[in-house]
Chain A
Amino acid sequence: AQKVTQAQTEISVVEKEDVTLDCVYETRDTTYYLFWYKQPPSGELVFLIRRNSFDEQNEISGRYSWNFQKSTSSFNFTITASQVVDSAVYFCALRPPTGANNLFFGTGTRLTVIP
């Protein structure tokens, strides 16, 4: 069974603080892909990053960084020096190689950055 858990329902931070959004997944597959999406108030889901299960290198893109830990089945997302424009709902998702070729999404974390 595939499952993605985002335990943090809502997080509020003050602008310029760092924030980490947690994502824990469950799968029996050895090959899979993990994704993060951002859903701003406009509603459109914006693709942020993908990571395959064989690549545990952390990735940094500007103020965004991702920490993939296969040993703990986690794929956490950190925003450094948060900005008001980062306010959105963030979804972590898992794509297995078998079965339905869809993404299994977590329930999302609503991030509010206070100016």
Chain B
Amino acid sequence: GAGVSQSPSNKVTEKGKDVELRCDPISGHTALYWYRQSLGQGLEFLIYFQGNSAPDKSGLPSDRFSAERTGGSVSTLTIQRTQQEDSAVYLCASSYDSQLLNSPLHFGNGTRLTVT
């Protein structure tokens, strides 16, 4: 498909376990973004990549959260020692170029994470 692909679509994990969420952006999009959407809340910015580098990590909630992107394509968001408050939908988006302000973000369907 031509859209942003995220996997898994749903993840249930026990408190304290580590999880990895994957995002495959639209081909040719150099910018990639991670957002978190908690129940009834807006979208909380976590991190973005331009190519493989992450100029802005300011939104990561704690040092348990990390993300990487390799080959300018697929990105992985890792949450270590998950807590119940990490339960949310994690959305990935990509855009043609982060420097093009009018370039819209195209979102995936998200990964719904539930920490029990």
> Considering residues A50, A102, A104, which has the most beta carbons from chain B within 10 angstroms of its beta carbon?
A102
**Bound complex: CA A33 to CA B33 (Å):** 17
**Chain A, residue nearest B33 (CB):** A102
**Bound complex: CA A97 to CA B33 (Å):** 16
Closest-CB distance, A7 to chain B (whole angstroms): 13
**Bound complex: CA A43 to CA B6 (Å):** 12
Q: Chain B interface: which size bin?
A: 20 to 34
**Bound complex: CA A92 to CA B91 (Å):** 16
From DSSP, what is the main secondary structure of chain A's interface residues?
loop
Closest-CB distance, A94 to chain B (whole angstroms): 11
**Bound complex: CA A5 to CA B3 (Å):** 29
- Chain A contacts of B41 at CB under 8 A? 107
User: Which of these, A43, A52, A106, contacts B89 with CB under 8 Å?
Assistant: A43
A33 with B102, Cβ < 8 A, contacts A101-B31, A102-B33, A102-B48 known: yes
**Bound complex: CA A35 to CA B101 (Å):** 11
| B43 proximal to A (CB < 8 A) | yes
B42 touches A107 (CB 8 A): yes
Q: List 25 A-B contacts (CB under 8 A).
A: A31-B101, A32-B101, A35-B104, A42-B109, A43-B89, A44-B3, A44-B107, A44-B108, A47-B104, A50-B102, A100-B45, A100-B59, A101-B31, A101-B50, A101-B98, A101-B101, A102-B48, A102-B56, A102-B59, A103-B43, A103-B105, A105-B35, A105-B43, A107-B41, A108-B42
Q: A42-B109, A45-B107, A106-B42 are in contact. List 20 more A-B contacts (CB 8 A).
A: A31-B101, A33-B102, A44-B108, A45-B105, A47-B104, A52-B101, A95-B101, A97-B101, A99-B56, A101-B48, A101-B56, A101-B99, A101-B101, A102-B48, A102-B56, A102-B59, A105-B35, A105-B43, A107-B42, A108-B42
